[in-house]
Amino acid sequence: MARQKFDFDLIVIGSGAGGSAAATISAALGKRVAIIEKDDFGGESPNLGDIPMSAMLQTAQIFDSAKHGDRFGLRTNALSYNYPSIQEWKKLAVKRTGAGGNRNYYESKGISTFKGIARFITPHEITINRRHLSAENFLIATGSNFFIPNIPGLSDVNFHTMHSALNITRPPKTMFIIGSNSRAIELAELFSTFGTKVYLADSSARILPNEDEEVGLLLDKHLKEAKGITFLTHTRVLEVSKSSITKRVVIRRGGIERSINVEEVVVCLGTTPNVDLGLENADIEYDPTGIKVNNYLQTSQKHIFAAGDVLGRNSETQGALMESRVVAFNLYHRNKIIPDYLGAPRITWTNPNVVSIGMQEDDCLKRDLKVKKAIAPLNTTPRSNTADFRDGFVKLIADKNNVIIGATIVAPNGAEMAGELTLAVRLGMTAEQLRETPHAFLTWSEAIRIAASRLIN
Ligand SMILES: Cc1cc2nc3c(=O)[nH]c(=O)nc-3n(C[C@H](O)[C@H](O)[C@H](O)COP(=O)(O)OP(=O)(O)OC[C@H]3O[C@@H](n4cnc5c(N)ncnc54)[C@H](O)[C@@H]3O)c2cc1C
């Protein structure tokens, strides 16, 4: 048999959502595939992000519902939790995903696995653990690192990131979270449910600044009242220092400086793409905001693709998976496809869930787009009476022909309602079609029908 020109048909760098789909699809097509991972196989989502967070929030939200069960006639005074057991439950949830920390998962799919840091040395060659590997094609899916701000004293205290915060061995008495994005709000809900006094600070005017105004205001009110979280918007963190066994956080708010002593500080300000892998040696264009790709996810070297957080698009797991599938197709087809992000839902997993689909009202205002909007508060649905929850809403955005172009849901289990509105946006459905779609009586989704009716009338 003739000697192969390259060691592999495809080398994937990074085994997270952005890398794994293309690797497994390529292996299923009979390609010689290698995947290189410097840390836990499976990447952030199963090991450190979505899955552990979801498992912990599930526990917190059940605990919270049970704690407030007296209004439904339940006796709840003996309710308590065991945090080490909650951590064990989280580990079980990670294990159940299959990919979490599991190199065998990839090998069982016929993929060669290598543990170590990959660096390009030429456009067709990388080093890993002093070994050279070559491939005809590459996929870079190296994800992102947390953005750590340059706050005096921060690096001298033992602060947490989103990853390490989920591994704290017991809920601290007090916690200061820097940032107010979805992940920060989820973490605030999680720890406050287990009794931690949480302070959360951001320079933005409201929490969840990427969502429409009423979303941040509603969550702020709800979480403040239900959990006693202190939201410090319009706030700058000036300094962090050690103060005996606690940490002292100095802030400025409304021109006034004050300090807050806490047990734990968590930095939760988003991420920056992980572009430190010798890209210049392969002539791959990039800058600190991410690797540059064309519509087909090819880098400036056409045989090297990139997908996931390393693109700097804040794609999240579903986006990274979709991009990875697009790469798998484009690697082996002359007629290439482009990723279609239309209607991809963005979710904050608090209770109530916050779901954004397609265009938000703020997006339309910024672009000066003339649109119609209608809101159905959850208390217009019978479900709000039986669930004793009245705070959320469904908001629909439509163009002048009543075609749905966006939606926001703030509702318990609102994420489970996302599919209908994602389809509506992707298929260009009208408010009339949504209104005429049967929605089961006593589901929260009746609010979608009501909002659709309000768009028409
Ligand atoms: C707490 C938390 C909760 C989240 N919840 C959600 C959610 O509910 N829904 C959602 O959609 N998203 C969520 N996300 C975001 C989501 O986890 C990421 O967007 C997603 O995992 C990105 O996938 P990726 O493949 O691009 O990167 P990653 O999963 O980070 O994979 C990149 C991999 O590359 C490896 N690597 C990097 N450099 C090299 C190198 N030089 N050599 C070898 N290996 C390398 C890294 O070790 C890593 O394993 C959450 C994130 C966090 C932190």
Ligand 1 pocket, residue 59 CB under 6 Å: no
Does the CB atom of residue 50 touch ligand 1 within 6 A? yes
Is 59 part of a structural domain of the chain? no
- DSSP class of residue 148 equals -
Q: Which residues lie below 8 Å from residue 77, measured CB to CB, with a gap of 6+?
A: none
- Residue 41 · residue 113 · CB < 8 Å: yes
Angle at 165 between CA 161 and CA 167, to 5 degrees: 130
Give the start-end residues of each E strand in 49-128.
112-115, 119-122, 125-128
Closest among 333, 296, 331, 291 to 9, alpha carbons compared: 331
| Probe target for ligand 1 pocket from 13, 37, 45, 186, with the most ligand atoms within 8 Å of CB | 45
Counting Cβ atoms within 10 Å, is residue 453 exposed (0-12), middle (13-18) or buried (19+)? middle
Domain presence at residue 60? no
Give the residue from 161, 152, 247, 251 showing the smallest Cα distance to 201: 251
pLDDT in tens, 324-368: 999 999 999 999 999 999 999 999 999 999 999 999 999 899 999
Across the beta sheet with 246-253, what order do the strands follow?
Answer: 235-243, 246-253, 256-262
Assess whether the C-beta atom of 346 lies below 6 angstroms from ligand 1. no
Same domain, 249 and 359: no
| CB 358, CB 342: distance < 8 Å | yes
pLDDT at 314 (0 to 100) = 74
Q: What pLDDT score does 2 carry?
A: 54
Q: Is 179 in the pocket of ligand 1 (CB under 6 A)?
A: no
The pTM is what?
Answer: 0.96
Relative orientation angle of helices 316-332 and 17-28, to the nearest 10 degrees: 30
**Residue 102 near ligand 1, beta carbon < 6 Å:** no
Q: Using the mean position of ligand 1's atoms as its centre, give its distance from the Cα of residue 208 in Å.
A: 21
Q: What is the CATH number of the domain that holds 124?
A: 3.50.50.60
Q: What is the pLDDT of residue 244?
A: 84
277 and 264 in one domain? no
Residue 193 belongs to what domain range?
A: 154-269
Q: Is residue 244 located within the same domain as residue 135?
A: no
- Whether 425 contacts 397, CB under 8 Å: no
CA of 320 to the centre of ligand 1 (A): 9
Q: Does residue 435 share a domain with residue 392?
A: yes
Question: Does residue 415 share a domain with residue 371?
Answer: yes
Domains in the chain: how many in total?
3
Same domain, 293 and 438: no
- Asked whether 308 lines ligand 1 (CB < 6 A), one says yes
SS3 of residue 431 by DSSP: helix
The candidate with the shortest Cα–Cα distance to 274, out of 307, 298, 301, is 307
Cα–Cα dist 75/66, whole Å: 9
CATH number at residue 406: 3.30.390.30
DSSP 79: -
141 pocket-lining for ligand 1 (C-beta < 6 Å): yes
Q: Give the other-Cβ count within 10 Å of 400's Cβ.
A: 8
Ligand 1 centroid to 71 CA: how many Å? 41
Same-domain pairing of 135 and 278? yes
Compute the distance between CA of residue 40 and CA of residue 161 in angstroms, rounded to an integer. 17
Q: What residue owns the CA closest to ligand 1's atom 15?
A: 316
Token reading at 68:
């407030």
pLDDT by residue, tens only, the chain of 457 residues: 556 799 999 999 999 999 999 999 999 999 999 999 999 999 999 999 999 999 999 999 999 999 999 999 999 889 999 999 999 999 999 999 877 778 999 999 999 999 999 999 999 999 999 999 999 999 999 999 999 999 999 999 999 999 999 999 999 999 999 999 999 999 999 999 999 999 999 999 999 999 999 999 999 999 999 999 999 999 999 999 998 889 999 999 999 999 999 999 999 999 999 999 999 999 999 999 999 999 999 999 999 999 999 999 877 999 999 999 999 999 999 999 999 999 999 999 999 999 999 999 998 999 999 999 999 999 999 999 999 999 999 999 999 999 999 999 999 999 999 999 999 999 999 999 999 999 999 999 999 999 999 999 7
- The ligand 1 atom at the shortest distance from the C-alpha of residue 318 is 11
Which atom of ligand 1 approaches the CA of 277 most closely? 41
408 strand-pairing partners: 356, 395
- Is 80 within the bounds of a domain? no
Q: What is the pLDDT of residue 101?
A: 77
Q: Give yes or no for residue 47 CB within 6 A of ligand 1.
A: no
What are the tens digits of pLDDT across the range 69-91?
Answer: 999 999 988 999 999 999 999 99
Cα 139 to averaged position of ligand 1 atoms, centre (Å): 15
Task: Identify whether residues 310 and 205 lie together within a single domain.
Answer: no
Give the position, in ligand 1's atom list, of the atom nearest the Cα of 118.
Answer: 42
